[in-house]
Homo-oligomer: A and B are copies of this chain.
Amino acid sequence: MTEPAQAPRFPTSLGTSDADSITLLGQDLAADLMGKVGFGELALWLVTQQRPAPAQVRVFEAVLVALADHGFTPTAIAARLTYLSAPDSVQGALAAGLLGGGSRFLGVTEDAGRFLADTLAGAAELPSDDAAFDALALAAVRAARERRQLVPGLGHPVHKVTDPRTPVLIRIAEEEGTYGPHLRLFEAIGRVHPQVLGRILPLNGAGTCGAALADLGLPPDLLRGFALLARTAGLLGHLAEERRRPIGMDIYQTVEHNAVYLPPPGS
């Protein structure tokens, strides 16, 4: 341990408060935000620290709605099992659910956003027409193949032809004027990948969400956070349903009853 430091200094621009007022994002929370600004709009604003335009809010909320719930995902199951074990700790059950939001299942949004952003950043110049986007897409898909990596955003275990979220989100982005190079490149990937992969895969909804968020100017590092915010709402839905019609005990007992003991070698 060293000598005491100077008085520390922790800057923040999120907000402050005094006896009579609360400032959030430069606004008076009570007078300017409550009842006037939606939660989705506030969430986007909290991350960018810039008031989003209505067009951006609509696309952003469409993304959150698209990602909020996917049924009995490993995250939802883990949340329900944790709630079963610790019903006095909603925050524990939520946290356990979110901790599954890693690379394998919830990472597509971030991975797709990052893949598209990296591809665009690595281009000699930004493509200006569909043919140029197609060429850039083709090169990216080929490079992924050489690295023995999947292209994030392609394919879905259930929606084999079209993921219904994809065309809707693209349309909303076009309506709101936020359709940009990431979505354009993503659609190009949708067109050209069969040439490289030898089969036709759908552009999945989570990947489209990543492209749409990237076109809102959001950095790849934060895309997983938005997917997690969306999923928090879905997890609350699962926990509410677990209170009313629980299945956690049945899941636990299904595993327990179907466990097969194989003695370890040497025993």
What residues of chain A have their CB less than 8 Å away from a CB belonging to chain B?
A: 1-5, 7-31, 33-35, 37-40, 42-43, 46-51, 58, 61-62, 64-66, 68-69, 71-75, 77-78, 81-82, 84-96, 98-106, 158-162, 164-165, 167-169, 172, 175, 219, 221-222, 224-226, 228-230, 232-234, 236-241, 243, 245, 247-248, 250-267
Contacts and interface: CB of A to CB of B under 8 A. Distances in A.
Nearest to A250: B8
A164 B252 CA distance: 23
Nearest to A46: B237
Taken together, the copies of this chain in the complex come to 4
Given A66-B29, A71-B16, A43 B98 contact: no
B98 A102 contact: no
Contacts of A16: 1, 71, 259, 261
Contacts of A168: 30-31, 34-35
B165 A29 contact: yes
B17 A260 contact: no
Nearest to A11: B260
A42 B233 contact: yes
Contacts of A161: 19-20
A234 B43 CA distance: 7
Given A12-B72, A103-B88, A18 B61 contact: no
A17 B81 contact: no
